[in-house]
Amino acid sequence: MSVALPPAQGGGLIDTVSIAQSDLKEGPGGFWHDVFRRLRRNPTAWIGAGIVLAFLLVAALAPLLAPYPETALPGAKFITPTNIPGPGEMPEFPLGLDRFGGDVLSKLIWGAQASLLVGVISTALGLVGGMVLGLLAGTFGGWVDTLIMRVVDIILSVPNLLLAVSIAAILGQTPFAVMIAIGASQVPIFARLLRASMLQQRSSDYVLSAQTLGLGRGQITMSHVLPNAIGPVIVQGTLTLATAVIDAAALSFLGLGGGRPETAEWGRMLTYAQAELAIAPWLAFLPGICIAVTALGFTLFGEALREAMDPRTRAR
């Protein structure tokens, strides 16, 4: 692998440092070309990507796919205290009704949009916050690294879901509070991962060569160390999307997601399905299946991406 370095301070021609890495055999198109090639050959990646793509399409096309608006209650007149129409009982409601008279199929479709929004935004917040802390710790080291890592260790001592519940309870029962809570609970994971990856890269030959050429610490970090260290963070971000979807459902299930009771969200659907488990078990079963399948899709794709980027498997 060849890395072109800028001119050394004080002038001079551009030097090119060739780095031989015995544990990494790249294809003719470079690192990312090799990663995508391995992903294309991995059936797990195709299954995971298919599930994720289906989830994204349903969420994006919810206004077109859903038979009824999000908060509509078209079947309210058919609901009685002892009878809730189930799947297949009424042609106009193929998956039955919920306790409020809402169409379950429409609620599941709109719920996909809500879960995607919370999952993506919360993971993005955690990723940005973690990368900032990890970048500072990995670049400056010394007391900066010690201070940041001790704060991260304190946060990591609290279970993720418990931390998210605490933050959401403090900020209030709103969807935005759920995003902040889940994102904040993920910051330490990304921070530690990026820091560790950067420390590993800083001991590489190309970093020592760049220092010899007189490049500054900031230029070496942003131009060479960070691009080579960010791979594991990308993989973790993909895997964390699955956790974010589950955590969002858990917070909504606990009543911290805010919104009206009839608002479509998978975790909230589980909350209100508890009272009808005896007479309408599908109200809990269907959103539970959606949560599990969505998390499975992100997990499968994330694991396939991790394997494709792992030098120990790529070298075979």
Q: Decide if 262 is inside a domain.
A: yes
pLDDT at 313 over 70: no
Mapping DSSP onto H, E and C, the string for the chain reads CEEECCCCCCCCCCCEEECCCCCCCCECCEHHHHHHHHHHCCHHHHHHHHHHHHHHHHHHCHHHHCCCCCCCCCCHHHCECCECCCCCCECCECCCECCCCCEHHHHHHHHHHHHHHHHHHHHHHHHHHHHHHHHHHHHHCHHHHHHHHHHHHHHHCCCHHHHHHHHHHHHCCCHHHHHHHHHHHHHHHHHHHHHHHHHHHHCCHHHHHHHHCCCCHHHHHHHHHHHHHCHHHHHHHHHHHHHHHHHHHHHHHCCCCCCCCCCCCHHHHHHHHHHHCCCCCHHHHHHHHHHHHHHHHHHHHHHHHHHHHCHHHHCC
Mean of the pLDDT values across residues 57-84? Answer: 88
pLDDT at position 249 is 85
Q: Decide if 238 is inside a domain.
A: yes
pLDDT at 261 over 70: no
Q: 49-53, 131-135, 150-154, 174-178: lowest mean pLDDT where?
A: 174-178
pLDDT at position 85 is 87
How far apart are alpha carbons 173 and 178 in whole angstroms? 8
pLDDT at position 210 is 76
Q: 21-35, 153-167, 177-191: lowest mean pLDDT where?
A: 21-35
Q: Decide if 231 is inside a domain.
A: yes
Mean of the pLDDT values across residues 288-312? Answer: 87
Mean of the pLDDT values across residues 167-191? Answer: 88
pLDDT at position 258 is 63
How far apart are alpha carbons 312 and 316 in whole angstroms? 7
Report yes or no: 132 and 195 within 8 Å, Cβ to Cβ: no
Domains: count for the chain: 1
Q: Are strands 16-18 and 2-4 parallel, antiparallel or unpaired?
A: antiparallel
Percent of the chain with pLDDT over 90: 29
pLDDT digits (tens, 9 = 90+) for 8-38: 344 333 343 333 333 334 445 566 788 888 8
Mean of the pLDDT values across residues 283-304? Answer: 91
Q: Decide if 99 is inside a domain.
A: yes
Q: Decide if 5 is inside a domain.
A: no
Closest CA relative to residue 285, chosen from 87, 16, 112, 90? 87
Summary mean pLDDT of the chain: 81
Q: Decide if 132 is inside a domain.
A: yes
pLDDT at position 297 is 92
pLDDT at position 3 is 43
Mean of the pLDDT values across residues 37-63? Answer: 91
pLDDT digits (tens, 9 = 90+) for 219-237: 777 877 888 788 888 888 9
Closest CA relative to residue 171, chosen from 184, 156, 158, 160? 184
Q: Which range marks the domain in which residue 147 is found?
A: 42-71+94-314
Residue length of the chain? 316
Mean of the pLDDT values across residues 280-298? Answer: 91
pLDDT at 1 over 80: no
The CATH number given to whatever domain includes residue 252 is: 1.10.3720.10
More reliable by pLDDT, 223 or 148: 148
pLDDT at position 148 is 93
Mean of the pLDDT values across residues 179-194? Answer: 92
